[in-house]
């Protein structure tokens, strides 16, 4: 029996099999009827993610896991890691690099003091996303459980959404000729799994959160920690929260 791309992903000689239920859930999403997916009620969830830069070691596991899970073309990234280096005497002008998106980790570079840290980045799954507002055909949309997705069947490849994203999180996929980005592993989270990047992180620097679940640890975390979002001045109501985000991060 021939398997579709949703059922079998091939990367670096490894075969990743999705369960039939996960593949079915994705089919419902693309049909605009995700609430009908087996064993999943969209009205009971509002998805977000918490990232702790202090825990990130820049190993690249999350980038590689995302690439394999989602068949991301080489040289493109649904999630990536940036390295920041801030000199003690120039806190307002950090040096930032991201060799190959952090896919292969980071070679040692700084030896002269200052502070070096890593910041994972991805689609912020904004509640008021600029990308959905500019799409002329509604190919990019927000699900009732708060995930911003792209329906490749309707995407024209006009790139308006790529230009509108203030976080640089979208890219044009040369394989599909459509806009592409992080889906928050929707095919996984609708089946009770976490995202591939969270699963692969050895330090739990990234944690999937459900803001509608009163028992989710995210609520206590937000009450007891200093938490920021990227570019708050854009008023996108981003749902990727960073713990103790350094003021130099842009």
CB of 191 within 8 A of CB of 25? yes
Q: Which fold has domain 8-243?
A: Alpha-Beta Plaits (3.30.70)
CB of 212 within 8 A of CB of 218? no
Amino acid 16: pLDDT:
40
Main-chain dihedrals φ then ψ at residue 135, nearest 5 degrees: -65, 120
Residues contacting residue 156 through CB under 8 Å, at least 6 positions apart: 136, 137, 139
Strands 79-87 and 14-17, bridge-based pairing: unpaired
Main-chain dihedrals φ then ψ at residue 41, nearest 5 degrees: -115, 110
The CA-atom distances, in angstroms, between 223 and each of 81, 129, 217, 227, 236 are: 27, 25, 10, 9, 21
Distance between CA atoms of residues 15 and 77, nearest Å = 20
pLDDT in tens, 85-113: 998 777 778 999 999 999 999 999 887 77
Three-state DSSP at 83 gives strand
Amino acid 112: pLDDT:
76
In whole angstroms, what separates CA 144 from the centre of its chain?
18
- Identify the H or E element spanning 49: strand 47-51
Amino acid 36: pLDDT:
61
Three-state DSSP at 229 gives coil
Strands 240-243 and 227-228, bridge-based pairing: antiparallel
Sketch the domain layout of the chain as residue ranges.
8-243
Taking alpha carbons only, the member of 117, 209, 131, 141 closest to residue 168 is 131
Distance between CA atoms of residues 223 and 176, nearest Å = 42
Token pair of 82 as six digits: 């940036």
Main-chain dihedrals φ then ψ at residue 169, nearest 5 degrees: -95, -5
Q: What is the pLDDT along the chain (250 residues), one digit of tens a residue?
A: 344 433 333 333 333 444 455 556 666 666 656 556 666 888 899 999 999 999 999 999 999 999 999 999 999 999 999 999 998 777 778 999 999 999 999 999 887 778 999 999 999 999 999 999 999 999 999 999 999 999 999 999 999 999 999 999 999 999 999 999 999 999 999 999 999 999 999 999 999 999 999 999 999 999 999 999 999 999 999 999 999 998 889 8
Distance between CA atoms of residues 5 and 157, nearest Å = 20
Tokens 């700084």, residue located: 110
CB of 117 within 8 A of CB of 246? yes
Q: What's the pTM?
A: 0.83
């Amino acid at each position: 029996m021939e398997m579709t791309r949703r059922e079998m992903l091939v990367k670096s000689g490894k075969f990743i099999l999705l369960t039939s239920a996960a593949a079915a859930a994705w089919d419902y999403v693309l049909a605009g009827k995700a609430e009908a997916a087996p064993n999943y009620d969209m009205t009971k969830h509002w998805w977000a993610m918490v990232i702790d830069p202090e825990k990130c070691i820049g190993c690249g596991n999350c980038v590689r896991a995302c690439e394999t899970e989602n068949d991301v073309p080489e040289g493109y990234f649904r999630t990536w890691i940036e390295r920041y280096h801030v000199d003690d005497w120039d806190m307002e002008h950090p040096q930032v690099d991201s060799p190959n998106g952090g896919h292969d980790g980071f070679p040692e570079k700084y030896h002269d003091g200052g502070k070096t840290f890593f910041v994972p980045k991805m689609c912020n799954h904004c509640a008021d996303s600029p990308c959905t507002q500019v799409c002329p055909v509604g190919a990019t949309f927000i699900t009732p459980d708060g995930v911003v997705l792209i329906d490749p069947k309707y995407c024209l490849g006009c790139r308006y959404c790529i230009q509108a994203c203030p976080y640089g999180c979208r890219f044009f996929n040369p394989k599909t000729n459509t806009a592409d980005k992080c889906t928050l592993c929707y095919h996984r989270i609708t089946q009770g799994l976490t995202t591939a990047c969270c699963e692969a992180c050895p330090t739990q620097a990234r944690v999937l959160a459900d803001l509608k679940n009163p028992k989710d640890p995210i609520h206590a975390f937000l009450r007891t920690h200093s938490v920021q979002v990227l570019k708050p001045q854009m008023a996108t109501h981003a749902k990727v929260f960073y713990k103790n985000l350094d003021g130099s991060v842009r």
